[in-house]
Structure 1
Amino acid sequence: MTTRSAPQVMSRHSLPCTTSPKRRRSSGGPRSQWHSEQTSLIYLKTEAGVGAGIILEHQDGDPTARRLVDEAAEALTAVVASAGVLLDVDMVVIGGIWGEFSPAFLEQVQEGFQTVVDRTGLEKTVKVKGSTSSAGCDLPGAVGLVIDDWLNPYSSDTVDSAPGPRREGECSSRSFRTMTPPQEGRRDLILTREGTQVAHRRYRVMGVAGLALLAVLVAVQWAGGALAQDQQGGEPIVLTVLNYLDATSPGAEREVEEVWNAFERNNPGIKIVREDLFLEPFHQKTEAYAAAGRLPDVIYMWPGGRSSTLHTQRLVKDLTPFVDPMRDEFSEAALVPQAGGYLAELPIALTATHVLYVNKELLDSLGLQIPTTYEELEEMVPALKAAGKDVVLMGAQDDWVVQSTLFSMIVGRLVGDGTMDEIIAGRAEFTDEPFVKALRFYASLFEDGVLSRRIFQTAYNEVNPLFASGKAPFLIDGDWKVGNFLTDPTTGEALIPPEEQENFVMTVFPAIPGELNHNTTSSVPGVGFGINAAIPEGSRKEEAAWRLVGWLTSAEAQRIRLETGAAFPSRKGVTSDRLEPLAQERSRFYGRVGGTYVLDNVLDSKVYGPLNVGLQEIGLGLSTPEAVAASVQRAYDAWKAAQQ
């Protein structure tokens, strides 16, 4: 699963230079128009004495002011990277005081932004520029709308008493507000008492740019980070969490209420500030936080590729000492060393990324049976098309889907983990016959009519109702897809009602000609939660973070996810008498199949990124197996050279 490579096209918007309502009444001037290669809109806020200080006057001679300048650059880097990657921009323009501050300041932000872009697999160069537009305007830069107000020593709340005349149409001048020195030990950006004013501006600006809400959420996340210091005097410990959650899934309500809210009810001394994201926005946000050094206290993680930055840079703690006292309660497969060579996250599940979901009732109605070989599947194509049906459905608009849920299985069957180990070690190549053969077989799925190019136009969750309604007898996805078909406890409805779930089977792709391994899926020790390595060892915060991770991986929490179809337990003996038939089928599935590598778990993102894109290109007829193999090998060679 990885980030889509996006076209390198500058986003262009025309924005009016507007003053705030307060200033507009004072100046009485008309709005002027300002045109920019605008790409994002960022909100930051510091509390007097914590964030900016009197930095313009004293940054060269005062170490505290210098530190705060560096902190402001770090803060801007995190927010610019987070919003910039999500919105796929090529340039960010910072307006106001900070846009004119110094070339070195802007270069620092640009370097951090580029680092995040490189990690996500987007092959492009980004730029951060400063704007010399009037420092009093709210929209004189793509980024920095409110940086001017919030990160400089000139306060907007004294603007009406500012000296000097105002010219027609000019944004108001600023008066100087003395700010108290930083409090000892306080370095975090936080929201101030002017939160109501911030909300007002947020909605006003969204009508113009439509981008401010994202930035406000980032600022709020930092606010939680500031409060998450290890507090004394019995005050609650605040833990920031970046969580992966499909809010549209039927089990989301139970996950939030019975797992997250239950923890806070049972632990009144711990407050959770949680950010829920799904699919690519989650992974992009993770990279942004990691690059800026602002990782949340507890973070949802993969055991390898998708979270390789966290593993290889050791940004999260080794959980082995925490787990050892209860190690025998978990499946040993869940506790093997992960991408960084240690146990960076405690898995909540075991995961099979490839499942062939079968609608038996539909096959029976057409006089067909579940195929055991690829040849049998291919023979079904004419009959299914004559009946107006697709053969195999996939929601593959995002490029990770094919690689993770289909091609990894194909490689496991035709290449094998042993040969993949040789390729990863550099003793064999992607251009060798075994890997190219796997790509050729994948291409044949489209040539034979088993897969349609329409899969690349189908969004990931849009495929769920198509399969449930009988659009095709087969669906390829991961084992987690079960959760989308179960009963939603908030509505009492299910895409596949429990009384119909007996008609569905979970199996794997039929035997492939020339395969080395039979009846296998692609699987990994599951996702789970890690703890920020920056939390002091032995601190109250570390204790609180482990208590949270322990609960999230507890038998009770895993039972809930088993019932909702969200995950198959990593703990031994977790079961339930409330499982719907399809959830029971998932439990049986694991005992029927073997497992091989998931490619984005064993390859670096700089290698599997080009592979993901190449698989889409093959399916669309835009590239060949040989060309994609050569592209992936070049990416591997470049990655390997960078490791020297």
Structure 2
Amino acid sequence: MKKRLTLVITLIALISLLTAACSSGNQTNESHEGGSNEKVKLTIWHNFAGDDLRAKAVRGLIDEYKKANPNVELDAQAIPVDGYRQRLSTVAAGNEMPDVFFVYAGSQSQEFYDAGLLQPITPLAEEYPEWKGNFMDGAFDRFEFEEGQIYSAPIGLSATSFLYYNKDLFEKHGVKVPTTWTELMAAVKTFNDNGITPIALGNKAPWVAQSTILGSLADRVTGTDWFLKAVKGEASFTDPVFVDALGKFKELVDNKAFQEGANSIDNTQAEQYFIQGNAAMMVSGAWTLTNLAASATPEQVAPIEVTTMPAIEGGAGEAGTISGGAGGGFALSKKTEGAAKDAALDLIYSISGPDGQKAIAESNSMVMYKMDLASSNVSPLYLKAFNVAMEAGITPVYDAYLSAEAGESINNGLQEIMMGGKPEDVAKKLQDAQARSTQK
């Protein structure tokens, strides 16, 4: 009887162990680091629907993830740029966000955070600290809504103020590439004396002068901290330091730094004017790299070099900086949990991690991730600009921080200065517009 009882107890113990083992094998692994083989459904939305190299690179990264993760049933929707914001806003209103979605840095991502629609991707930063540490300074500033938490990782750099210059024209006329304001004004005079436009500008759409020139120029005069205080109402755009910054822009206008009719031609026309050798310099963003790659001949591009705007003697800002900031990145829905969350984090890392950043950079698109592209298949002009960006600090683009009304005010104000307006008047209008937004 005792032997039979012992046998029964032993069998029960064995069955219990087998059951526990099977149960353990079927449990969902909730930790991101361990991954999971559980079948999950995942949705991802983005606006990389075009035929440009960057769009193809991002879609390729998503396809690679899909092939490498057969346990994930991935519904990927590429929505054209024109309709993307509206589609996201529509599903946001119903709290039906896709698991992973592309979001712009700044006001859009802030709105989604404020509405409780996002959850942090901080587990990726904790799991891959070297990856997080390899981003440029400030890369996460517009995605860090609470201390110690990040809600996306940028897959682009919105760089707006590279100084492009034609080295052949500089050498022909014995002009030094300017590193100070004094040298810049000397270069403006020499090129004008020789019948060459110093700086090409197409400001028909009035954001251009603000985005490409003013952000860097004003930062060199006021410093970044002053600007951020002025945005919050802790300093005034009527302060002498900002009026002085606008005065520097007026100095360019008064000394005929720009071609005649700069307010009546667009940025693309200005790019063509520059690349055809009619202007010695152009201050513009990373988009010019893409445009010139598509429209200019190798012979036209060969003499073009890239640097930063010169320092301003006595200014409070740093030299060697470019205006810009983080582009968009992929965010994680607050409602995505369990195995789907683990898969979503893996997907975000597949696009935003080192391999993804390199693939996007090799599509001749600016990223905020440091790497060596010397041996990569990128255009020579892009490589020059990329290396400048990796060494440069990033300063704010004005309209990315100002209220919509204030952004419109400074855009129009720079056009006014180009037509003879006074810096003091423009500063007053800007201050009034920004003050109205901070009082709401």
Shorter-chain TM-score range: 0.7 to 0.9
Which of 397, 414, 417 is the matching residue for 2:221? 414
CA distance in 1, matches of 2:85, 2:280: 32
Paired position in structure 1 for 2:105: 303
Paired position in structure 1 for 2:338: 538
Trace 1:364-379 onto structure 2 (pairs within 5 A).
364-379=171-186
Paired position in structure 2 for 1:484: 291
Cα 1:337–1:387 shift into 2, 3 Å? closer
CA distance in 1, matches of 2:181, 2:411: 23
Trace 1:548-567 onto structure 2 (pairs within 5 A).
548-567=347-366
CA distance in 2, matches of 1:628, 1:284: 34
Letter in 1 for 2:437: W
Letter in 2 for 1:520: G
Q: Would you say how many aligned residue pairs link Structure 1 and Structure 2?
A: 396
Paired position in structure 2 for 1:520: 320
Paired position in structure 2 for 1:358: 165
- Do the aligned partners of 1:298 and 1:532 also contact (CA within 8 Å) in 2? yes
- Do the aligned partners of 1:242 and 1:276 also contact (CA within 8 Å) in 2? yes
Moved more, 443-452 or 378-387: 378-387
Q: Does 1:510 align with 2:314?
A: no
SS in 1 for 2:261: helix
Query: How many Å apart are 1:356 and its aligned residue?
Result: 0.3
Runs of 5+ in structure 2 lacking a partner?
1-37
- Do the aligned partners of 1:468 and 1:495 also contact (CA within 8 Å) in 2? yes
- Do the aligned partners of 1:303 and 1:339 also contact (CA within 8 Å) in 2? no
Q: How big is the alpha-carbon RMSD for the aligned residues of Structure 1 and Structure 2?
A: 3.6
CA distance in 1, matches of 2:267, 2:278: 16
Cα 1:574–1:581 shift into 2, 3 Å? closer
Query: How many Å apart are 1:261 and its aligned residue?
Result: 4.8
CA distance in 2, matches of 1:305, 1:612: 19
Cα 1:512–1:571 shift into 2, 3 Å? closer
Paired position in structure 2 for 1:340: 145
Paired position in structure 2 for 1:320: 122
CA distance in 1, matches of 2:171, 2:372: 36
Paired position in structure 1 for 2:296: 495
Query: How many Å apart are 1:501 and its aligned residue?
Result: 4.8
Cα 1:615–1:297 shift into 2, 3 Å? farther
Cα 1:516–1:310 shift into 2, 3 Å? same
- Do the aligned partners of 2:162 and 2:286 also contact (CA within 8 Å) in 1? yes
Letter in 1 for 2:78: R
The one-character-per-residue Cα deviations of 1:552-602 (angstroms, maximum 9, x if unpaired) are: 213233223322321135155676433432233224314654443333344
What TM-score results when the alignment is normalised by the length of structure 2? 0.75
Higher relative CO (Cα under 8 Å, sequence separation at least 6) belongs to: 2
- Do the aligned partners of 2:151 and 2:332 also contact (CA within 8 Å) in 1? no
SS in 2 for 1:347: coil
- Do the aligned partners of 1:407 and 1:442 also contact (CA within 8 Å) in 2? yes
Trace 1:379-398 onto structure 2 (pairs within 5 A).
379-381=186-188, 384-385=191-192, 389-398=196-205
Query: How many Å apart are 1:325 and its aligned residue?
Result: 0.7
Letter in 2 for 1:271: D
Query: How many Å apart are 1:252 and its aligned residue?
Result: 4.5
Letter in 2 for 1:348: I
Paired position in structure 2 for 1:475: 282
Query: How many Å apart are 1:407 and its aligned residue?
Result: 0.9
- Do the aligned partners of 1:399 and 1:612 also contact (CA within 8 Å) in 2? yes
CA distance in 1, matches of 2:430, 2:96: 32
Paired position in structure 1 for 2:14: none
Cα 1:591–1:546 shift into 2, 3 Å? closer
SS in 2 for 1:511: coil
The one-character-per-residue Cα deviations of 1:280-312 (angstroms, maximum 9, x if unpaired) are: x87677667766767665444443357543455
Runs of 5+ in structure 1 lacking a partner?
1-232, 489-493
CA distance in 2, matches of 1:323, 1:349: 18
CA distance in 2, matches of 1:289, 1:463: 40
The one-character-per-residue Cα deviations of 1:34-64 (angstroms, maximum 9, x if unpaired) are: xxxxxxxxxxxxxxxxxxxxxxxxxxxxxxx
Q: Does 1:240 align with 2:45?
A: yes
CA distance in 1, matches of 2:252, 2:75: 51
What TM-score results when the alignment is normalised by the length of structure 1? 0.54
Trace 1:273-312 onto structure 2 (pairs within 5 A).
273-277=77-81, 298-305=100-107, 308-312=110-114
The one-character-per-residue Cα deviations of 1:145-168 (angstroms, maximum 9, x if unpaired) are: xxxxxxxxxxxxxxxxxxxxxxxx
CA distance in 2, matches of 1:289, 1:264: 24
SS in 2 for 1:363: helix
- Do the aligned partners of 1:312 and 1:339 also contact (CA within 8 Å) in 2? no
CA distance in 1, matches of 2:187, 2:401: 35
Paired position in structure 1 for 2:434: 636
Which of 120, 131, 134 is the matching residue for 1:329? 131
Paired position in structure 2 for 1:206: none
Letter in 2 for 1:369: K
User: Percent identity between the aligned chains?
Assistant: 24
Letter in 2 for 1:394: L
Cα 1:560–1:611 shift into 2, 3 Å? same
Q: Does 1:597 align with 2:370?
A: no
CA distance in 2, matches of 1:257, 1:537: 24
Cα 1:420–1:461 shift into 2, 3 Å? same
SS in 1 for 2:272: helix
SS in 2 for 1:473: strand
Query: How many Å apart are 1:267 and its aligned residue?
Result: 5.3
The one-character-per-residue Cα deviations of 1:459-515 (angstroms, maximum 9, x if unpaired) are: 3444443332223121111245333334x6xxxxx6252x76552221122233542
Query: How many Å apart are 1:351 and its aligned residue?
Result: 4.8
Paired position in structure 2 for 1:615: 414
SS in 1 for 2:150: coil
- Do the aligned partners of 1:305 and 1:605 also contact (CA within 8 Å) in 2? no
- Do the aligned partners of 1:453 and 1:620 also contact (CA within 8 Å) in 2? no
Paired position in structure 1 for 2:250: 443
Query: How many Å apart are 1:457 and its aligned residue?
Result: 3.2
Query: How many Å apart are 1:527 and its aligned residue?
Result: 1.6
Query: How many Å apart are 1:629 and its aligned residue?
Result: 1.9
Cα 1:640–1:585 shift into 2, 3 Å? same
Structure whose residues are more often helix by fraction: 2
Letter in 2 for 1:320: T
Paired position in structure 2 for 1:529: 329
CA distance in 2, matches of 1:267, 1:461: 43
Query: How many Å apart are 1:236 and its aligned residue?
Result: 5.8
- Do the aligned partners of 1:305 and 1:600 also contact (CA within 8 Å) in 2? no
CA distance in 2, matches of 1:483, 1:360: 20
CA distance in 2, matches of 1:248, 1:396: 28
Letter in 1 for 2:354: A
Paired position in structure 2 for 1:15: none
SS in 1 for 2:439: helix
Which of 76, 81, 89 is the matching residue for 1:272? 76
